[in-house]
Structure 1
Amino acid sequence: MKIWFDLSNSPHINMFHDMIRDLEARGHEVLITCRPLANTIDLLKQRNLEYHVVGEHYGKNLYKKLFGYPIRVNQLRKFLKNKHIDLAVSQSSFHSPVVAKLLGVPSIYTNDNEHAMGNIPCFMFANLVLIPENLPVEKIVKKGGSAKRIKQYPGVKEGIYLWQKGEQIHAARKQNPADNKTIYVRPEPLTAQYYKGGLNFLDSTLEALQDRFSITILPRDKTQLEHYRQSKFSGIRVPDKPMHFDQIAKECSLFIGAGGSMTRELAILGIPTISVYQDELLEVDKFLLEEGIMAHEPNLKPETVEQMIQSLENKEPDLQLMQKGKQAYDLFISEILNYNR
């Protein structure tokens, strides 16, 4: 079977890397398309995945996005029309199910962001929509999905690709315990259509903390890279290229995330995490907060960070969602293989 993955944003590489390698090991052929957004291409290179760049990202402006949407759909259709694809698989690629429909190919679509407008055509056209168990089916139906084509998987999305890696990471953390001084920060998704929160709102807190902690900023793009290279952040490390996720997870004492995927990734690994997301929370984030798996401080103050760091001593990680991740992974593989002709 020939399976097309459209990895259109940087979180998708972590999401599907192991699954792609697994499918290839089973004898299936995989074709990957992407676009130059955030750290996507850098991460594909880092993970040694062969890819084809198709189209571009049109920024945060809604009108530019609407203009650019059919352009990339058509670009993907032209690129794939003679590639003899059997199945399309994607996470939050708003183009993939539509392109698959135009090609007469079945598609599997997964998403845990019920607020994103781009989901509407995907929920309408995908043959199968996979969502986490904590996201009500009714919310997807309201956005155009059919209850008959929706299936819920155990746990949360991040568990699907972290269940195996999590064991290795925690073994490494036990051998070299975190020093309660190392903080990693992921800024806000400034180009995302769904994000309506503030920009650079962590600046004063980071300035206040940089002399007391080892802080690393994980910028999403060149705009953020240049912003945090200003002299007022001279005590903060700002890598030129994306850091390997394993390194972050092994040495991180506290993670502060203004976005979604990476924040949840660190949280379900049992690493102390503060979400500072300033827009409406997703159902999956509300679930993590209710379970006490992460904290939410949209107006984070330096003293809150210091208090949380002090409370970490001898705290055991909560790994309940890691156990569900394996079940969810097996479900994804099973659903993909159901389309084997």
Structure 2
Amino acid sequence: MIVWFDAVTSKEPLLFNAIAKELEKAGHEAIFTCRNYDYVASLFSLLDLDVEIMGKHGGGTLYGKLKAGNERIAQLAEYINGLENKPDYHISFSSPESTRVAFGLGIPTITINDSPHARAVGKLTIPLSKYLVYSSCITDDKWFSLGATRDQLEPYDGIDEVAWLQDFKPQKETLEMLGLHIDDSFIVGRPEESSAAYMLERNMVGQTLLVEILEEIFETYDGRAVVFPRYENQEKLLKKKFKNRIIVPPRAVDTLSLYYYSDLCITGGATMAREAAALGTPSISYYPNPLDVLEYISDIGIPLHNEYTIQSAILKAKELIDKSEEKLVMRSKTKQILAELESPTTKISTLL
């Protein structure tokens, strides 16, 4: 069986690589496509995976997203239709373009999704999918509001991160690549997704609240910050403001090792905070509204803190940095919690 994976955000190469490895053990073949956005393509290179890069992010306007999406559909359709051996299944994390192509070419789709708040991509992918794989901490009614039907629902009792963190071993070489030493103090930061469809009404395109947060942290913190901007304008803004106090990796690096050696991870999104917290590193998401999986992770004792205002995020960051010596205890506790959670790879393997 040939399984086609399409990645559109930086979380997905790690997740899809973990799933593909399990499927390959069962004799299946994996092929990968992605869009030219953020660190997605370079993450495939880091993982030593072949990938076809097609299309780009549509930017901060609805018209831009529509135009870029349609162009990418055409590119993906030509590529998949031109393959000598067509995929038997398509898997994505709610990629509208590849899901539309798979549906049009008669390829069944397994959609993985833990973000019902991203309603636009949910509505464009879930109704066209054969199965919807999601963490059981998300209630069914949220999927029904996006067009899901009962027979599509395939919950699992865990979080995505279990798939790629089970065999993790930190690599000191990652620090050396960025000019850091194992004894250096640093935090990891990621701006909010200012150009996502669900953020457009906040009028944050080209800006980031991370500037204000880092300003406050650096008043009392002598370390540096390794920052992963989502867009070029965010990168320019952060570099101009903080100069050599921050490090912006030019390409994808082993972020898991960075989290492991860092004092704190703080992000306006979810993925980095979830990954870092699942390794036992204190983490903060300053996404402005409650998200099911973030609340679940926090509730079961993994060190992820949901702070819904900038001021509360700043206060919590300073508090956690001051308690960084407690990280070893938290790491041991978190590892035990993670071992009891189910991986989405298990669920997907049973569906194919």
Shorter chain as denominator, the TM-score bin is 0.7 to 0.9
Encode CA deviations 1:221-264: one digit per residue, 9 max, x unaligned.
33232222215443222222232123213211211111121111
Encode CA deviations 1:173-199: one digit per residue, 9 max, x unaligned.
xxxxx8693211111122221225553
The alignment status of 1:332 with 2:334, answered yes or no, reads no
TM-score, normalised to structure 2's length?
A: 0.84
Number of aligned pairs? 328
For the 8 Å contact 2:19–2:163, the answer to whether it is kept is no
The alignment status of 1:290 with 2:299, answered yes or no, reads yes
For the 8 Å contact 1:258–1:277, the answer to whether it is kept is yes
After the TM superposition, which residues 210-221 of structure 1 pair with which residues of structure 2 at under 5 Å, given as runs?
Answer: 210=218, 212-221=222-231
Q: Report how far residue 289 of structure 1 moved.
A: 3.4
After the TM superposition, which residues 251-262 of structure 1 pair with which residues of structure 2 at under 5 Å, given as runs?
Answer: 251-262=261-272
**Structure 2 alignment gaps of length 5 or more:** 172-181
> For the residues of structure 2 that align with 1:70 and 1:133, how far apart are their CA atoms?
33
Evaluate the alpha carbon distance shift between residue 292 and residue 74 of structure 1 in structure 2; reply closer, same or farther with a 3 A threshold.
Answer: same
Q: Could you tell me which residue of structure 1 aligns to residue 192 of structure 2?
A: 188
Q: Report how far residue 128 of structure 1 moved.
A: 0.6
For the 8 Å contact 1:123–1:146, the answer to whether it is kept is no
The alignment status of 1:8 with 2:22, answered yes or no, reads no
For the 8 Å contact 1:54–1:72, the answer to whether it is kept is yes
> For the residues of structure 1 that align with 2:49 and 2:131, how far apart are their CA atoms?
25
Q: Report how far residue 103 of structure 1 moved.
A: 0.7
After the TM superposition, which residues 167-178 of structure 1 pair with which residues of structure 2 at under 5 Å, given as runs?
Answer: 168-169=169-170
> For the residues of structure 1 that align with 2:3 and 2:297, how far apart are their CA atoms?
32
Evaluate the alpha carbon distance shift between residue 25 and residue 274 of structure 1 in structure 2; reply closer, same or farther with a 3 A threshold.
Answer: same
Evaluate the alpha carbon distance shift between residue 302 and residue 34 of structure 1 in structure 2; reply closer, same or farther with a 3 A threshold.
Answer: closer
- Percent identical among aligned pairs is 26
Q: Report how far residue 75 of structure 1 moved.
A: 2.5
Evaluate the alpha carbon distance shift between residue 221 and residue 36 of structure 1 in structure 2; reply closer, same or farther with a 3 A threshold.
Answer: same
Q: Report how far residue 47 of structure 1 moved.
A: 1.2
The alignment status of 1:265 with 2:275, answered yes or no, reads yes
Q: Report how far residue 326 of structure 1 moved.
A: 4.8
SS in 2 for 1:185: strand
Q: Could you tell me which residue of structure 2 aligns to residue 227 of structure 1?
A: 237
Q: Could you tell me which residue of structure 2 aligns to residue 19 of structure 1?
A: 19
Q: Could you tell me which residue of structure 2 aligns to residue 118 of structure 1?
A: 121
Encode CA deviations 1:99-145: one digit per residue, 9 max, x unaligned.
11111111111111102211113111101111101011111011101
After the TM superposition, which residues 127-206 of structure 1 pair with which residues of structure 2 at under 5 Å, given as runs?
Answer: 127-165=130-168, 168-169=169-170, 181-196=185-200, 198=204, 199-206=207-214
Q: Which stretches of structure 1, 4 residues or more, deviate above 6 A after TM superposition?
A: none
Deviates more, 1:192-201 or 1:123-132: 192-201
> For the residues of structure 2 that align with 1:90 and 1:228, how far apart are their CA atoms?
31
RMSD value over aligned CA atoms?
2.6
Q: Quick one: which amino acid aligns to residue 299 of structure 1?
A: I
For the 8 Å contact 2:163–2:345, the answer to whether it is kept is yes
Q: Could you tell me which residue of structure 2 aligns to residue 37 of structure 1?
A: 37
